[in-house]
Amino acid sequence: MKIPYKILIPFDKSSALPVYIQISSAIIKSIQDGILQPGVKLPGTRQMAELLAVHRKTIIAAYDELLSQNWLEIIPQKGTFITEKLPVVKPLALTTQTHRDTINQTLQNKLNKHSFIYPPPNITHKLAFNDGLPDVRLAPREEWARLYAHYIRYADPALIGYTDPKGAIRFRTLFAKYLSETRGIRAMADNIITTRGSQMGIYLAGLTILQPNDVAIVGELNYRAANLTFRQLGAELVTIPVDEDGLQIDAIETICQQKPVKMVYVTSHHYHPTTVTLKPERRLKLLTLAEKYQFFIIEDDYDYDYHYSNAPILPLASADRTGWVIYLGSFSKQIAPAFRVGYVAANETIIDEMARLRRVIDRQNDTVLEFCLADMLENGDLKRYATKALKVYRERRDFTCDLLKKQLGENIDFRIPDGGMAIWANFTPDFPLKTLSEKVAKQGLYLSDGQIFTQENPTLNACRMGFASMNFKETEDAVRILKKAMASKIP
């Protein structure tokens, strides 16, 4: 059978990958697919060069590459052959959709499936009322680039090798001081582990304290990624009401009187998704209950720095006397989502166990990023940036809330959030979010369809509307699209 090498060996001369590598890779693929069988003689270098319309030296280089990897063998006075040592692979018929479906189903049957876990939306729209993300255009990118380049070039090689799974000691020392000065949390370097964002912190904290069937208390309409994490770890999730003052703590005590509780998860500052703040008296009672019933509190303080109405209320961790609070957060909300540095602060016994578990998940954090953060903590650049961003986001909150009230009137209901980067908006039944979201998406605007919250309340027609990532002009354009889509009732 004549082998169609020209079809089997495609290559792109404009690619950055050398042509000889593309050719050798194509031949390997044909062997793996069973098209080129062991013992098959390849054309000589001159003939193959003519077939593929390339220079003979390119084919010589490709053959040399295949010989070095033991895909080919040269038999003197006979030629170049696919090595006989390879197993015979039966060629597959042309792949059909039915065949692909069969393969997929076979693989699915072998997987340890977690179908209840869903990926977050990949928002590519220029205009977006997202979950509450920062405007990366405000981030100190030039400063980060300068610092990162400096450490890549000049850092002691020992500092950018494998380090402590807890994180760079210099960063943890400076950050412990920062937590003390800004949040009243009494911590030292050994009380901190760095993570790749708050989600990794939630997972590590849950993995450290939860056993299958342990009771974990969360609020209704809780942060969905946290719920998914605890469920994946085998916890029994018990929900309690959330009102304008945060979690209803009395409900926690009722549950504790009925069954042992292992953990309570709370976003104490700007509750996700509804943005309310847990009031001081409820904070104190929650700490008292944790001491009495000996349950852990995972306090997710993901955007503590962005509080507009007054000084932020100190976190639960600042008043923790007995070590039951696991405090976590991230610089991803403060700077940019792609900036993957988060942290967990807790009793050193908990941190030590988290470091052991982290060892089998991810060896360590991005040490160079931690060096950059340490510099910005030390020289005050991070504080100056946060102060500037706080002013911008406060102005955007006020502008967005005023515009929504003027343009959408009684069709949308929300309270102006004291902090954070999103509004919790309730739409009237005339405008079902699932349909409205699809409608505005066609006009280039992202709006959550709110479906992730309807499991707890099927009649809910609400979503988070992030205001921080759009400037005034972009917000005006977004609201204009939304208003146009709502000009008539959606059937």
In-domain check, residue 118: no
| Shared domain check, 392 and 329 | no
In-domain check, residue 265: yes
Q: What is the pLDDT of residues 436-449, one digit of tens each?
A: 999 999 999 999 99
In-domain check, residue 120: no
In-domain check, residue 95: yes
Q: What is the pLDDT of residues 149-167, one digit of tens each?
A: 998 888 888 777 788 899 9
CA distance 290 to 138: 40
CA distance 285 to 356: 32
| Shared domain check, 352 and 394 | no
Q: What is the pLDDT of residues 261-274, one digit of tens each?
A: 999 999 988 888 98
| Shared domain check, 350 and 434 | no
The label of the residue with tokens 């003052």 reads 245
CA distance 302 to 272: 10
Helix (H) or strand (E) run with residue 344 in it: strand 342-345
| Shared domain check, 363 and 225 | yes
Last residue of a domain, one of 351, 379, 407: 379
Give pLDDT, residue 332: 82
Last residue of a domain, one of 328, 352, 379: 379
Give pLDDT, residue 252: 95
Last residue of a domain, one of 379, 396, 431: 379
| Shared domain check, 34 and 161 | no
CA distance 72 to 208: 51
In-domain check, residue 278: yes
Give pLDDT, residue 426: 94
| Shared domain check, 149 and 89 | no
308 in helix, strand or coil? Answer: coil
Q: Find the CATH number of the domain harbouring 59.
A: 1.10.10.10
Taking CB atoms within 8 Å and a gap of at least 24, the contacts of 378-386 are 378/174, 381/140, 381/143, 385/138, 385/139, 385/140, 385/335, 386/305, 386/334
In-domain check, residue 491: no
| Shared domain check, 397 and 363 | no
CA distance 80 to 44: 7
Q: Find the CATH number of the domain harbouring 415.
A: 3.90.1150.10
| Shared domain check, 418 and 358 | no
In-domain check, residue 122: no
| Shared domain check, 172 and 314 | yes
Amino acid at 179: L
Cα distances from 306 to residues 27, 133, 311, 393, in angstroms, run: 57, 12, 10, 8
| Shared domain check, 32 and 145 | no
135 in helix, strand or coil? Answer: coil
Count of structural domains within the chain: 3
The label of the residue with tokens 């319309």 reads 53
| Shared domain check, 151 and 243 | yes
Range of the domain at 446: 127-133+385-485
| Shared domain check, 226 and 353 | yes
In-domain check, residue 119: no
Give pLDDT, residue 89: 63
Q: Find the CATH number of the domain harbouring 322.
A: 3.40.640.10
Residues of the chain with pLDDT under 70: 1, 88-99, 311, 489-491
Give pLDDT, residue 59: 93
